[in-house]
Every structure is written in structure tokens, then in C-alpha cells.
Amino acid sequence: MLVKEWMAKDPVVVDENTSIMKATQLMKEHRIRRVPVVKDGKLVGIVSDRDIKEAAPSKATSLDVHELYYLLSEIKVKDIMTPNPLVLVETDSVERAAVIMLENKISGLPVINDRGEVVGVITQTDILKVMISISGIYHSPIQLAVELEDKSGALHELLTSIRESGARIVSVLTSKDNVPPGYREVYIRIQDMDEKDLASLKETLGKTYKLLYVIKEDLSSLPTRSKD
């Protein structure tokens, strides 16, 4: 999956000479936490709400409100931005974006074209959307996990066995982390089926494979954060 398919396009950007007061207003208006900074239309930096908070005078300042507003209008984003930020291009993979964010402990990246112009922004939230999409959880309540020998044809045999048991496969993901050498874990989502057929599938797979778990998830009543 490519970044261009999941990034937020035509993002808000600010010129390097924009005041931090104006940048703050834009962030609040668009409900964003970082803004790419441009000079002559090309990316030169990025400024975050944290940068602005650290640059703003303390609440304990002795400045009166007029002096405070003047100061905030005089400080430019170029004075507090992170210059030459990490970037992506549209044809980078979402996986590459995720690795860069993880390794650098950042929550978003600007995306540029071959002229250095900002064409998008991709965030951790976008990465989560990708994960949810490829997992198939919105279309499949049942997930099977199998520890499978990592050899040619093994995955094909497993999937064939599942299909022959009457299950319809929605997605297949694999991982080689935290497993014995020579093995991998396979996570398979299948369309809903009645309990009798699911029990039969579990019995069939258990005779040949190391079945780690089978779960059935209900997304109709997800927990939500209290607004209090």
C-alpha cells in the first residue's frame, strides 16, 4: 500500500514568516497538531503545537495582554520550527512510513512531490486505518491464529484446508516475530459462520496444525471514551 492512497491530501501549510499566533489559530481551526512550513512553496520545516507551547511566554509572565499579543505576533514559525524534517514521497509504502515514525518516535510525516512541494501528510491515525483495512475486521468477526512451519507450500495447504471446511477467507496476515526459528504465525480472518460449523473447523485444523486461538469479536458495541 502506497502513502498516496492513505495520506491527507492538500494539507494545511504555513509560510515560514507566519506568526506563531496565526499558526496556533490554524491548528485549532483544523484540529491538527503539526503544520508543514514552506518557503517559496517548498518544504523547509515543520512546526508542532509543542514547539509553540515551548516558545510561548509562561503563564507567570509579567507582560500585560497587549505586550503578550505583540510578542506572539512577532515570533515567526521559522524561529521555532524543526528544519529539514523527515519526509516521504507519494510512492513510499505505508510500511516504510510506519517504520520511520516508530524509529524516530514521531506521530506524523509530510509527503512531498519531486519539486519539494507538500502534497500530503500521513499520521499514526492513518497507519491505524491501514492496519484495520488490511486486517478485514470490519468484514469478518472471526480470527484464527496458527503456528505454521515456514516452508514452501505450507500456507497454501492451510488455506486450502480452511476453504474445504466451508469457511470463506477474508484476510491473511503473517508474522515471524516471537516464534521459534523456522516457524511463523498466521492470522486468518473468515466470514461469520454458525457455532457448529466453527467448532468443526477448529477440530479439523487442530488435528494437523498448532492452533493458537480462535476468537469471535463483536464490533456492534465498541467501548468509547467518556466525554465527562
- The CATH number for 203's domain is 3.30.70.260
Which of 131, 151, 170 marks a domain boundary? Answer: 131
Q: Read off the pTM.
A: 0.82
Residues 131-190 pLDDT 10s: 999 999 999 999 999 999 999 999 999 999 999 999 999 999 999 999 999 999 999 999
Burial pattern 49-64, b for ≥16 Cβ within 10 A else e, equals eebbeebbeeeeeeee
For residue 198, what are the domain limits? 137-216
**Number of domains the chain is built from:** 2
Per residue in 53-71, pLDDT (tens digit) is 887 655 445 555 556 566 6
H or E segment at 102? Answer: helix 94-104
Q: What is the pLDDT of residue 70?
A: 62
102 and 147 together in one domain: no
Contact between residue 75 and residue 17 where contact means Cβ atoms under 8 Å apart = no
CA distances from 154 to 157, 182, 201, 227 (A): 5, 12, 18, 48
Cα 213 to chain centroid distance, Å, stands at 26
Q: Does one domain contain both 72 and 177?
A: no
Q: Does residue 110 share a domain with residue 17?
A: yes
Instruction: Please indicate, yes or no, if residue 222 is contained in any of the structural domains.
Output: no
